[in-house]
Amino acid sequence: MANNAVFAEVASLAGDPGRAGMLHALMDGRALTATELARVAGITPQTASGHLARLTVGGLVAVEKQGRHRYHRLASPAVARMLESIMQVAADTAPPRKAFVGPRDQALRAARTCYDHLAGNLGVALADALVTRGHIELTSDAGIVTDTGTALFDTLGIDLDATGKRKGRMLCRPCLDWSERRPHLAGSVGAALCKHCMSEGWIKHVDGSRAVAITVKGQRKFREVFGIGSVG
Amino acid sequence: MANNAVFAEVASLAGDPGRAGMLHALMDGRALTATELARVAGITPQTASGHLARLTVGGLVAVEKQGRHRYHRLASPAVARMLESIMQVAADTAPPRKAFVGPRDQALRAARTCYDHLAGNLGVALADALVTRGHIELTSDAGIVTDTGTALFDTLGIDLDATGKRKGRMLCRPCLDWSERRPHLAGSVGAALCKHCMSEGWIKHVDGSRAVAITVKGQRKFREVFGIGSVG
DNA sequence: TAGATGCTTCGGTCAAGGCCGAAGCATCGC
DNA sequence: GCGATGCTTCGGCCTTGACCGAAGCATCTA
């Protein structure tokens, strides 16, 4: 079955440490240059270039040329979901690893973006708050925004209609967090919420990583709106 | 970051043609012996044995000893979802491949199991029927069983409560079909439906593959209950 | 036009791992 | 017990591909 070969090729593309590092870095949804990706993956630019070429023809990465820079990003949300699910399994497999959490790791666990939505301690706390306040309902399979949730998002100025084709009820997707092992909010609703937090200046990206920092304004807002205390 | 290495290892485990073939075969949710898996993957038993050992320590496969047989199955639903998502990306990447669909491929496209739920032409047709009749609502992110849907499943004798912790609304998960490129019904609801079809004798597994055949009784039932004509 | 910067291609080295044949254990049936 | 069957381990062959240094191309700046 030829299909099988394609499957193996896609999986093996993600199965190299160098490429895995680059894909990991791209999981924040932004587009990065080859040199940046080489640095985070700990390889030389020419090696990264070869990897990126393979990832591009393999359909995992899309590249956009801009002057002398070439910006690379994940080719589709489907790729992001695939990486998420691999991280999921990897987290299950992973050793206890209690000790040795570097500061960088620490920041990632506190709050990070997961392609287009929020994850980490903050992401889980937000999902928890929304659930306990009755704004959303979540199972391991799916989620729904309740009427009060819709109202809340409306007052916050989050446009759910724009992101997903709304028809009657608003559905959303839970995403099991690899660091917290509990679900956070993904899908179009999660993306809209993340985008809102970002544009309102409640959170901002830390240097060139997926980690995000909560601003002072964010601390206040998260407390006021969602009743979330100190996070991270 | 040590985490990255685990990620790459998990992905590379799925990234070998031999292992991919075996994992693909295990996607029907059943447990198979090493020899059976070797045959479907087209490798010798001793090679398969080595692969299976790696898959086991890697946490992708669980093994159960029974007499002189050792039955292998996917270690968790998370692994199944990971494989699904890889197939998803692989299908996007895949060439047009219009010609050259073997009879085996044909059967898979008509109807197959996807770990614990139904996929292929039949799976999509079922999802379509349930949606157009207002029994479920689906987006790309999530799904919900309506009141009439709950009633329908009740009269059919499908116990939704047993599979997922029911709390008020019943949520379910859509799963994009790699052959049809449209969503079919997954999650606990999809699993319950598939289990019901199987136990009622509406469908049955074809030899040792993921393909399922619709029985005569099934043809009648699918028409009566869901209004689905000839499928496949 | 000249130099700096980002990126890719080329060439060669080298380690990882997939593959099988043969042999070794375990378990079942008789 | 004894052979048959399922599976694993061992040893050796061989392909794949990851890696980097050096050089080449493209684009921006001055």
Report pLDDT digits (tens) over A47-80: 999 999 999 999 999 999 888 889 999 999 999 9
Report the distance from CA of residue B95 to the C1' of nucleotide D18 in Å, as an integer.
27
Same domain, A115 and A214: yes
DSSP B99: S
> How far, in Å, CA of B111 to CA of A33, rounded?
43
Q: Tell me what pLDDT residue A28 has.
A: 86
User: Do A131 and A172 fall within a single domain?
Assistant: yes
Q: Compare all CA atoms of chain B with the CA of A139 and give the residue at the minimum distance.
A: B171
Clarify whether residues A121 and A188 are in a common domain: yes
- Cβ distance A9 to B15 less than 8 Å, yes or no, reads yes
Residues of A in contact with B142 (CB under 8 A): 141-144, 171-173, 187
For residues A6 and B51, give the distance between their C-alpha atoms in angstroms, rounded to a whole number: 19
What per-residue confidence (pLDDT) applies to B219? Answer: 93
Whether B208 maps to a domain, the answer reads yes
Contact present, B21 and B42 (Cβ < 8 Å): yes
How many CB atoms neighbour CB B197 within 10 A? 25
In this structure, is residue A87 part of a structural domain? no
User: Which nucleotide has the shortest C1'-to-CA distance from B19?
Assistant: C18
Give A167 to chain B, closest Cα distance, Å: 9
Residue where a domain stops, chosen among B41, B76, B111: B76
Same domain flag for A8 and A122? no
pLDDT given for residue A99 in this prediction:
45
Pairwise CB contact (< 8 Å): B8 & A1: no
Q: What is the least distance, in Å, from the CA of A227 to any CA of chain B?
A: 24
The reported pLDDT for the residue numbered A101 is 56
One domain, residues A221 and A175:
yes
A77 phi/psi in degrees, rounded to 5:
-60, -30
Which nucleotides of chain D does any protein CB come within 7 A of? 5-10, 17-23, 26-28
Asked if A71 and A140 sit in the same domain, the reply is no
Q: What is the pLDDT along chain B (232 residues), one digit of tens a residue?
A: 557 889 999 999 999 999 999 999 999 888 999 999 999 999 999 999 999 999 999 999 999 988 888 999 999 999 999 999 999 999 888 665 554 556 667 888 899 999 999 999 999 999 999 999 999 988 888 888 888 999 999 899 887 765 545 555 778 899 988 888 899 999 889 999 999 999 999 999 887 678 899 999 999 999 999 988 766 5
pLDDT for residue B178: 85
Q: How many domains is chain A built from? A: 2
Q: Compute the nearest-CA separation of A228 from chain B (Å).
A: 25
Name the phi and psi angles at A144, rounded to 5: -145, 140
Instruction: Establish if A16 belongs to a structural domain.
Output: yes
Verify that B113 and B204 share a domain, yes or no. Answer: yes
What DSSP string runs through A122-161?
Answer: HHHHHHHHHHHTTSEEE-SS-EEE-HHHHHHHHHHT--HH
B38 and B124: one domain?
Answer: no
Instruction: For residue B187, list chain A residues with Cβ-Cβ distance below 8 A.
Output: 140-142
Which of B191, B177, B188, B201 has the alpha carbon at shortest distance from B122? Answer: B177
User: Domain for residue A196, yes or no?
Assistant: yes
Cβ contact, residue pair A164, B139, below 8 Å: yes
Residue A24 lies in a domain: yes
Q: Are residues B107 and B71 part of one domain?
A: no
What pLDDT is stored for residue A103 in this prediction?
Answer: 64
Model confidence pLDDT, tens digit, residues A171-228 = 889 998 988 889 999 998 999 999 999 999 999 988 767 889 999 999 999 999 998 8
User: What is the pLDDT of chain A when averaged over all its residues?
Assistant: 87
Q: Which of B26, B57, B76 is the last residue of a domain?
A: B76
Q: Say which CATH number the domain at A61 has.
A: 1.10.10.10
Q: What's the pLDDT band for A10 if we cut at 50, 70, 90?
A: very high
A148 and A66 in a common domain: no
Residues B45, B159: one domain? no
Domain presence at residue B163: yes
A64 and A129 housed in the same domain? no
- For residue A94, tell me if it sits in a domain: no
Per residue in A129-156, pLDDT tens? 999 999 998 888 888 898 899 999 989 9
Of A60, A76, A92, which one is at a domain's C-terminal end?
Answer: A76
Phi, psi of B99 (to 5 degrees): -70, 180
Chain C nucleotides reached by a protein CB under 7 Å: 5-10, 17-23, 26-28
Using the CA of B42, which nucleotide's C1' is the nearest one? C19
Give me the interface pTM, i.e. the ipTM. 0.89
Residue A102 confidence (pLDDT): 61
Interface test with A, best of B51, B89, B116, B185 (most A CBs within 10 A): B89
The mean per-residue pLDDT over the stretch A4-27 comes to: 93
Rounded distance in angstroms from the CA atom of residue A62 to the C1' atom of nucleotide D24:
25
Domain of B162, in residue numbers: 103-226
Percent of chain A residues topping a pLDDT of 90:
62
- In-domain check, residue B92: no
